Structure 1
């Protein structure tokens, strides 16, 4: 079936027919994916695998997420959905990834697959999606296929080299101290080239197995494994996990335990974390009258580092969808800084590249507006020609040290470097 495509400026009316039915338990989603353009959202072996494209919606500019929310409501309103399971991820769904900056050259997209295979709570299903007006045959049921040959990819410093990053951090610190800013997030890049015949599912396996507590995703060439839940909406409830403040894991049990204690006591990291939590609460409070947070940040253990983390949860009071909320939340202080406008000005001045979809929302949305969205961290963007760009950033505050921040980016690059290397 030829995929339908539209833009935010020409939404049209797209009529889709959607049918979900149960499957015997599918324990591995990744073998079902397209080897070269995978579409997946998973954590701890559960999630959604998309195959093919029934509809692609593209958006640009400062209203890209708001336009996506409007366009999605139109798609849902025109769809015929048969969903006897009625669980998160069943029925009509779209995978999405959104650019970080309002003026990014990279488009933001919602992609409705032709087929979705899902697994949650040990229960599996298949959803088939087609244009109601299409005369073509429905897509064949997908089958798992063997992975392609192994490959190794070297990632090298990109536009912002290590020495230049140290200078940028020092510049940001001076600016923060001079202008009374709270925090600025600065990123740097690594680049490489992936042979076109390479099977991207191999990198996804490495990410999913190495970082099972993170959201492993692949949407329109953006591949990664993010620890940070931007927002989750489920039957009127809203939740988020805020991460800011980082330290490397120790080489043994005693030093690792001490690293977690040091992070929890670090005034620099606690200040950085508080800015991020306040940013999320400020964005969500207009949509919920019952937000609750952890009393103090807790230390979240990942395979290569510790994060300071705070969970936020509440009940929605205004019927907002997950797309409405990512529009309200983005960009949080965890990926931009605070005050937001001032931080974005510093980022534009000191980062010599377009972040693309790095640090933007990535996830999925259902017909009822519920969905799960992460911040696109620990990720890389792959182009049609095989060029790969990975990004990692740090929260810079008045006490930041350029050498330490550079070392932190190396830690944050590790998931992608190891997945492809």
Structure 2
């Protein structure tokens, strides 16, 4: 829906509500619905007041600033983080080489909880009911699932890994993040709410997201802006973890001392710090990474923080940071060219920013990893994605194993893995 901002204003109302319980219960089986949840906190969003499709986050940021300027907001929680009117979006990895478009949506209703405070925000050209919408609609489990090969076979993909590693060894590029896909086809339309519920329960420390058919649970926060403080979590360097058969402490030591993984992580940290620096008056970049443990993998992790320019919104910061070396490579332009030439698929919005921005410019944008895309024209199937960072001493078989570990969250959510 387009809005004539010269004549049309919208009213938003935020009220405090009792603890709503599991947020995912409010996801709608019909009509637009979104989610962004971690550790039981976050929000679900229902309906659509306005929608902006674009190729670039910068354009979306300008559009949202204009929309927000035309919203009159009454709030019982003035100034509370994330409770003002917001826009939810996801952006393509490489808009110049994708048939997908980026999208930013202004929802009609937002139900959220954070830090012991719960709220509901309604927005639209007219006043709306302040009653909580109904919850508990029956989730539909996927049935008759077939796991299909994606854009290429495992053997062909490993051959391409070898080609990329050879390029890296010539010095043409330092790091390339190469991805592959799988397709899961069901006997009927897939219920994204089912996937969200399974992911929230199994991967509570990740950011579970649902935006316009893009669904997943990512461990990587591209940027959070809260007041004057920005935080970015960099993940690069991975080892698979099988808790039944492997000692996680041994695996953690192996990861921390792996020259390949440490080099990959350093490239990613440097790229984020360099991109964030122009927007910060002060920054803290830890000298060495920590280990982030998830049920299926261990990651090298670094949290970068900075004091930001108040004029830079969370969405503008996400635009400046994307794509980082963690999802593209370095140098960025050279790595993106290699991906375009050799990866042989359209990533769409996989590995792009996914999240939200409010009317104050605060917000959270994660990187759309460990997920997949359900398209309106094929609602009975989902395209899953997984990638890994390649450096000079990468081994094709090991990289293939890493992608299999990264497919696991979505395969578990679908019921295709334990």
TM bracket, shorter-chain basis: over 0.9
Give distance in 2, aligned partners of 1:222 and 1:12: 33
**Alignment-derived partner of residue 101 in structure 2:** 107
**Alignment-derived partner of residue 80 in structure 2:** 87
Change (3 A) 1:155 1:13: farther
Q: Select which of 221, 226, 242 maps to 1:229.
A: 221
Give distance in 2, aligned partners of 1:112 and 1:202: 23
Change (3 A) 1:196 1:80: farther
1:399 aligns with 2:390: no
Q: Render the CA deviation track for 1:360-408: whole Å, top value 9, x for unaligned.
A: 0000000001000000000100011313111000000010000000000
Give distance in 1, aligned partners of 2:93 and 2:243: 35
Comparing 25-34 with 355-364, greater Cα deviation is found at 25-34
Give distance in 2, aligned partners of 1:275 and 1:80: 44
Q: Select which of 13, 17, 27 maps to 1:19.
A: 13
SS at match of 1:290: strand
Q: Structure 1: which 5+ residue stretches go unaligned? A: none
Q: Select which of 362, 367, 372 maps to 1:375.
A: 367
Root-mean-square deviation over aligned CA pairs: 1.9
Give distance in 1, aligned partners of 2:40 and 2:341: 41
Q: How does 1:12-411 map to 2 (within 5 A)?
A: 15-35=9-29, 37-60=32-55, 64-85=56-77, 86-103=79-96, 104-132=98-126, 141-152=132-143, 153-251=145-243, 255-317=247-309, 319-384=311-376, 385-386=378-379, 387-411=381-405
CA contact (8 A) 1:378 1:412 kept: yes
**Alignment-derived partner of residue 410 in structure 2:** 416
Give distance in 2, aligned partners of 1:20 and 1:137: 11
Give distance in 1, aligned partners of 2:410 and 2:328: 21
CA contact (8 A) 1:147 1:199 kept: no
Q: Structure 2: which 5+ residue stretches go unaligned? A: none
Give distance in 1, aligned partners of 2:45 and 2:34: 5
Comparing 198-207 with 146-155, greater Cα deviation is found at 146-155
Give distance in 2, aligned partners of 1:269 and 1:197: 39
Give distance in 1, aligned partners of 2:129 and 2:152: 47
CA drift of 1:102 comes to 2.2
Give distance in 2, aligned partners of 1:208 and 1:188: 24
Give distance in 1, aligned partners of 2:114 and 2:218: 19
1:5 aligns with 2:5: no
Change (3 A) 1:354 1:257: same
CA contact (8 A) 1:236 1:319 kept: no
Comparing 404-413 with 77-86, greater Cα deviation is found at 77-86
Change (3 A) 1:417 1:46: same
Q: Render the CA deviation track for 1:229-280: whole Å, top value 9, x for unaligned.
A: 0000001110010000000124458722100000000000000000000000
Give distance in 1, aligned partners of 2:258 and 2:205: 24
CA contact (8 A) 2:33 2:47 kept: no
Give distance in 2, aligned partners of 1:365 and 1:252: 40
CA drift of 1:196 comes to 4.8
SS at match of 2:2: strand
Change (3 A) 1:150 1:369: same
Give distance in 2, aligned partners of 1:89 and 1:319: 17
Comparing 98-107 with 168-177, greater Cα deviation is found at 98-107
TM-score, normalised via structure 1 length: 0.93
Number of equivalent positions: 409
Comparing 392-401 with 251-260, greater Cα deviation is found at 251-260
